[in-house]
Structure 1
Amino acid sequence: MFLPPLLLSTLQEIYQRQASMLSERAVGTESELLLLIERLPEATRDTLVTLLMSYSQTKASLPINLAYLLALEGEILNLLGLTSTGHPLLTPPVLQRLQNYLPWFRQASQIVQNHLGRDLVRNYWLITRPNTPWLRTIRVETFYNEQVSAPDRYLNEEQQDLLQMWLEQFIFYCYRLLPTLPAEAMAAGIPVPPQLLPAAA
């Protein structure tokens, strides 16, 4: 069984990025990788395909979850027997950055602005913002205006949850005036509140 070209390309990309950390058994060329894959048991090859597909989907989503991507890289290379116990794979910071979330906020803002105008966008972000001191330290314009630079800061899990909640509340609030918002948001790759998924279909 040979990997589809896209998945093989993904595997080569992972290998090249982690090459300096791999064991002496590591391989370098496409043909060597294919031979290695061919020698795997069928169940292991199926698992490899599943992991590579998950990796590709995760990489294409926003915000990019670097910790999860690197964990998948480790699983993929372990499956191929290419990792060295003496040299741990490269690992990223576990925390997300604020900048990783801004594309969702700004895309949602643009959709609403196209239909309802810029002033309402600002008001709705203020109305739906969770009442927490941390969010009040960041200018609300940061979340809907690309001209406003975002502070470079990492987020803990609670802060990530607050941003997710704020985005969902904004979409839910605007949905009352803009029934097409769930579908437009989903088409743009923006997460939609679960209760609005039927409206996005």
Structure 2
Amino acid sequence: MKKLLFSLTVAMLITIFTSGMNETSAATSVHTVKKGDTLYKISQQHKVSVTNIKQWNNLKSTVIYPNQKLRLVKSSKVAANTATKTPSRSNGAKISKEFMVSATAYTAYCNGCSGITRTGLNLRKNPDLKVIAVDPRVIKLGTKVHVEGYGYAIAGDTGGAIKGKKIDVFIPNKSRAYQWGRKNVKVKVLN
């Protein structure tokens, strides 16, 4: 039912855009940013990667503003590629990379912390999220991963001390974050 509704929505958008504008043959849609939206949240809603949204809208950072219009490209080729790049825990995602990292933990309540991740996630309002801070040159922001001893998570944050094969796992409770300590763990990057 969701696929049928999605297909009808895409068909209507194609009709609207091709009748009113000279667009390419690829189906396009536009998302109007609402208060509280983040690129990650929008990427999950529309099943596209944060990287693609940034690229299609010439964004240099993950900062977005209410009422901003973001273009979301949804051609059949892009949709097929996106389906393999945004796996979930239950769809049999394949591992694209696997390596050992040094892992520490962090909370949303450290000194000087706002609780807002680099991708705009509010960890204070969403303490159950599984988020890791990464070096984006090693693991791209928005990537789904599996961290040994932590579980499935999203690479949604960065940190000043996170360089190379180091990660920080988000743990909402300060004492449990201290208990995590520093560990060498295996990270599986999913695609």
By the TM > 0.5 criterion, same fold?
A: no
Bigger proportion of residues as helix: 1
Bigger proportion of residues as strand: 2
Structure possessing the higher relative contact order (Cα contacts under 8 Å, 6 or more residues apart): 2
Task: Pick the structure with greater CA Rg.
Answer: 1
Q: Smaller-chain TM-score range?
A: under 0.3
Normalised by the length of structure 2, the TM-score is 0.26
